[in-house]
Structure 1
Amino acid sequence: MKKLLSFFLIFYIFSISFAQLDREHWFAPMVDRTGNPNPYQKLYLSTNRTTPFPVTIYNNNVVIGTVTISKNNPQKFDVLRNYIITTLQTDLFTPTTKGLYVKADFPFYANLRFSVLNHAEIITSKGIPSTGKNFYAANAPITVSNGILNFMTSILATEDNTTVTISGYKPAVQFSNGTTGLTNPTMTFILNKGQSYIIDGIGNIAGNFDGFLGAKITADKAVNVTNGNFNGQYSGNVPLSSDILMDQSVPVEQLGTQFALVKGNGSIGTNMEGALVIATQDNTQIFLNNEGLPITTLNTGQYYVVPDSKYQLQGTSHYNLYIRTTKNAYVYQLLAGDALGGSEAATGGFNFIPALSCYLPKQIDEIGLINENFVHSNVNPAGILNIPTKLNLVTERGAVVTVNGAFPPASTGPFDITGLTQWVTYGIPNTTGTITVVSTKAITAGITAGSDAVGYGGFFAGFSTQPVILKSGGDCVPGIVLTVDPIIYETYQWYRNGILIPGATSASYTPTQSGNYTCSVTMGSCAPLVTAVYKVLNCVKLTNVTYNICENKVITPAFTTSTQTPVASTVAIVTAPTLGTATINTTSGVITYTPTNPAVAGTDTFVYTFCGNDLIFTDCETVTVTINIQPVTVTNTTLTSCNINGVGTFNLTTANVTNNTPVTKNYYTSLAAAQNGTTVGEILAPLTYTAPAGTIVYVLVKNPTGCKNIAEITLNLFPLAVITPANFGNQCDENLDGTVNVVLSDITPLILNNPTYFTNVRYYALLADANLGNANTLPNNWSYTVNTTIYIRVESPDGCAPVVQPINFTVGSRLPLITTTLVLDFCDDDLDGIKPVNLSQFISQFTSDPLVSVSYHMTLLDAQNDTAPISGAVNLTGTQTYFIRFEKTGFCPNVATIRINLKIPKKSDILFDKLICPKTTTTLDAGPGFTAYLWSTGATTPSISNLPAGNYWVELTFNGCVYKQFVNVSESVLPVITSIDINGTTVTIGVTGGVPPYEYSLDNNTWQSSNIFYNVQRGNHKIYVRDAQKCAVVEKTFVIINLINTITPNGDGHNDVIDYSSLMSKDNLEFRIFDRYGAELFRGSPSNNFRWDGKMKGRPVSTATYWYFISWTEFGNATTVKYTSWLLVKNRNDSLWDK
């Protein structure tokens, strides 16, 4: 039986294992040479699994999207063009990050559908078998020179540091990067996982027509390859028609020798239908249909195009082609997507053809939205999504076939294949939607699709399956379940270690012991296939143990169920303890647990593992150890009793020295006696033990485990209340009302040694009441007027006897002052009604003692009660009385009074600032009513005269106060004529400065308040202006010029221009002309002599009325003269004028 299994393994190694229904898919990128607009790229994803699962899409190892699919729920994913297609030369012949990787936990179908204007294609992923190390490049041979055609091949790496070498192309090849097959007969590059490399040659070079076809691609790690033309034309010299011809390749080890093709939608004789065969080994013979002789023999890398004449008619319009090679070869179908509308040559398709095998699946479940591929075309400029699609099926003869549960119409097949009796084909047109194909025998499925200028084809399924063992339920015995995937085979036989397992003949098997498992499967007449070995191990045995310890614990690992012997070197701590350490003896494997603090009770856990001595199927066990550390934990404590003559009586059993239970306790007078644990030194009457303060008793505590510990009991006496009346001195009459107010609770901490401990304190007027402790207590807020004796009673919080003692209260003396009343006067020297005064400056008039502290108050009551203090810095607003409280340690406080009178001075009501004419003098008069005068000039009279402009002051004495008053004498500024604005015969004068209002006179005539003069005659004039001070008159001359209001620029020498060149001698001359909308037509300048001929940019302006202004300043004068007027232009060349 072992020999038979070995044969199966050999067969497995060399068998074909294509599978489009897979867990991983790759799509290498492409270069687009068409330059057409309207690009679209979509991934179509579908599965036969009813339970939804996510599919993740990556670019350059980075997630770019996730979709969830399930049966009857296919999904589409829009792919950014930059991820999969480029038009940039800089992306070629260099590693890039373009390309897609699609992954899920369960098998699914994946295909890429893409288009540009008038062109579309589909790339069907072959899954994991599409990756390998040896390929031969394929593209449709180019039959017409055209710059939008090319050949291209791209390589996508699946691992880092992948070295790829390309060779075997012809010397005449000229790559788009400028190199040739002659200068660069090989090319080598290195790619990391997710990186890609695109090779390309333009189709307008004869050496590129087939020069790269059959080139060898070798990699040291698995890669994925896409090849073809973007675009291509293979039917002849057809320069105006092309299409995308592209598909995914597979490595040479996945090829076969028998191929069945169903013709596309092209017509026989157009060269649009055929097949491309590429040899991978020398002396490869090619046979077609039932022909007895090979049509050709190829060597490695050579190709042959099968003409459309070799298709065999079956039925009325169905054609088949059978190709057989003597060695494994690539076969790509060339087809037309649409023969209607005269654009057949523009609808080319290019798809890889898988070899026939009886291990093809019996169902293709499912292909989503099979007829979709959005594309814009000349006929459909808005775009079309649903492309007419024909479903092509190849199945074994006699198979019962259904599509979506229905039998195909008889007109669609089955059709014979000439030269191949065991296989038949179907051609089902107008297939739409999501498709599930089921057959009772092996079957493969592909499509032919096309519309207008678009054509493509591809096989969604049709690749032989290879059984693989998958696990579920667990990872080991018991619990693991092994299942062969896919579950499509007719017979199953399971083996353990190469030995047949009786009765294990279903798709799933549940192992009961460890071992190497395989499964042999068969289908029809095909030779058996055997899965790869799946190694099953026993699960790690999980056990739990518990130990109760006082100190260390030694543990020897041992299996609980396995017969294997533990290996010391395999013993390992999986989870370390937290309350101790677990140390392994590397020689014996023995574990010693040592608690970090054995005196502290607690529960610790740790986990260790070990394995047996079987080197192949090693048993292991993991043990969770629970350690209960159970020492006797004790706490030293204290017992306290009432102090009776320095001795107390104690119940030792009330001392809580441990929380452990159950325990026994014995009491001893010494530590040595407790350590010996004998009756010597033992206290036999622990309930009434008498001892002085500070005595220590020792307790021996034991638990049932045998652990023991010793605790100390310290014997103390409760405190006695100690009253010290001497600590209490005289009491002050704080508010100076003749009565001393006392808060008795404030007295307690002064005379009682531990007031926070003795909180039950009461005061009595009579000793008898104090001794009785009755309710005749004094109130807490108590007062007295003469020296008095009262009694304090202090209760023990511990139930011990109270303490009673007398307390004497006396009245203290006030702090002596020099005087208790002070009266002061202050002047409001700035007449603001406020005089700042600092009261602290008067303290020395009350006391010279530097140790006295003071506070200031607004009322006597506040000062007496020491409330509402104010700042010593006060603002007087009238006569005010303040009260000062004086305090000093050892004296009772005292209060003094300050009365401050605020006197008000007076200022002159007739003394104001004066404005005088330039270079004149004036008199300042303060007026009568003051007792003294002092001017800044030194004068002492009420008034001073002959004063020029300047700043002066006078000090005025009144009511015993002096007020300093300031006055300013300033010279008036003459007005300035700033502008003379002339509008026709109206003149407007602009003035600034001086003291308004102004008066105006024209030519020294009558003065007027208006600055406007009307009907001013032409000629020279003079304007006069004076201000309200009338200190002086200012004047300016001006001229009324002749304002031109009409020109007729007809070239007759009369009134052809408006000319103000005579004013060019003026300063700041400005001459501007505007239309009625405010647009400037002309600006005078020295270059045009301030003359305008009625033209703008050399063309006469229209006859109309315009307006203009002229302004200037006279030489040496800042006054601006401005004229504004209108101008009628009568232009006889204007059509409006003619009307």
Structure 2
Amino acid sequence: MMYSRFFLLTILLTCCGITSLHAQLGFCGGNSGDPIFQEDFGSGTTDGPALPAGTTTYNFTTGTPNDGDYTISSTTNYFDWLSIEDHTPGDSNGKSFIVNASFTAGQFYQREVSGLCENTTYEFSSWLINLQPVGSCEGNSIPVNVRFQIWDGTDTNILAQGDTGSIPGTGTTVWKQYALVFKTAPGQTSVILKMRNNSNGGCGNDLAIDDILFRSCGDNVTISTAANEASLVVCEDQGSVSRTLTATPDSSVFSTHAYQWQQSTDQQIWTDIPGENSAILNTPAVTATTYFRTKIAEDIVNVNNDLCNVVSDVFDITVLPIPPAPTSNGDVEICEGEIGLLSVNTLNAYSINWYDAPTGGNLILANERRLEVNNAGTYYAEANSTEIECASTTRTAVTLTVNPLPVVPDDSSTFLCEDSSTTLDAEVENVMYQWSTGATTQTIDVTEPGDYDVIITNENGCSATRTFTVEQIDLPRIDKIVSDGPSIVVSTSNNGNFEYSLDGVSFQTSPIFEAVEGGFYTIYVQDNTDCGVVTEDFYHLVIQKFFTPNGDSFNDVFEPDGLEVFNSVTISIFDRYGKLLKFGNTNSTTWDGTFQGERLPEDDYWYLIEADSTQFKGHFSLKR
């Protein structure tokens, strides 16, 4: 613990140099060796323990540290200081070294560090933080300012020193790392570390230190092959491999170089390779992942002393195991027109390539665990490394079956007579049915027009849809029937492919019956789809549109046709001015175009016929 505390305070001085670095204050410019000494001050909720006697003139306390006091604690929640966790990653209730500077500037720590290697460069490092928040002490907080010094073992010659300069309170809770580099002289195996405050204590100059390291400092050393490979990845099926490795130091620290090559299977435990003490290593044949590095020192006597050497970069020869064949998620069945999704599983470290054959064949899709296809057949999935070509020795077969759809008749149209029903037939047997009406039978009866769908599903679960369009045929609706001279004209209020008849036997497509004698008739109207017939009785009175009383015995008199069916008939004829020219009854319903024996001129004349309870009005022309 004495050595640990001594080193701790040494780093404290080194760490505090943040705002003004001298030439000796800084980090190792090359590679650093494994930690020779490491102090994280432990963990727990109890303050302490105190530093060894003689290490410092400051007072140890388990409570709030006043000026000239220090403590080892998991909390910094004193005064108005920043409340922070220690720096060590993963600590639970981790502790740090907390210092409240004395009122008088000066040396506050001294300790000898022994067991060093001669003629060797070292780095002390530590993490430091000013505990004062911004604006504390009414804006007059004393900054942290520490000097680090390394003296020889006789305490007469200084080897290195550096000042941190002023480190004001910033309010940040981020730790920063600082270091001091020095070199031992020939024959020198110990040094004295001294730390001092350059600022007086009072309100401010309060700091915490954590994670102190002491390690050797040497060149940056890279490892490569003649092909400038920095690492190598091979597949297990390539057999054994080897490489000639060359270590290249940058001579930033060492003027001479001694080597000892090492190998490891986990980068945790390293073993020396006997007799390999030059800059070049011909690796042994490798069949499993192996790591190579070299220890390096400036003096051959120091190369195997971990207090004196550094290590190079690591050259990896990674031997990838052959991936196992992927695991199928099962064969897939789809219906015609669908897309099949084939899939397999493998470890995340592997990719999947799809082929059309169990060996060789054509690559269908690369780097996908799922394959979308619609052609029936067997497809083959191969696992491969994502780093290099290192494929599974076998491929996994996944089969896609494409089942046919049920064969259904084409969509069809049919007709529905008004106020009746019609039957729709899917016309496919031994399958399942799902009608849009909810029915599940082969046939359904419908009474409304519209579109009806039936989903037909076969034994493979494949479905096809057939649509029926049902159109309603409305019965004719007679709007009116009129006599137009000798013709009967029928009008309907709706449209359709209607047929017309006067006897219910012989039908015509024209709604006009020509040259029909006057009298009572029954008019028949039907749609040509035989959806039904409607009838209406009609009295047809034939009124000439004109007559020509010229004595030629043709159309010489105005004589309505059809009045004989009535019991009582009167007829009145008027000129355009309403003058009664003719009045007759059942026995006298004709007019010869005269009035009181005088022939009347060509003109339009009006008639009023009262037949039983029915009146007929209209006009006709007299032509000479």
Q: TM-score, normalised by structure 1?
A: 0.19
Could you say which structure has the greater relative contact order, defined with CA pairs below 8 angstroms and 6 or more residues apart? 2
Q: TM-score, normalised by structure 2?
A: 0.31
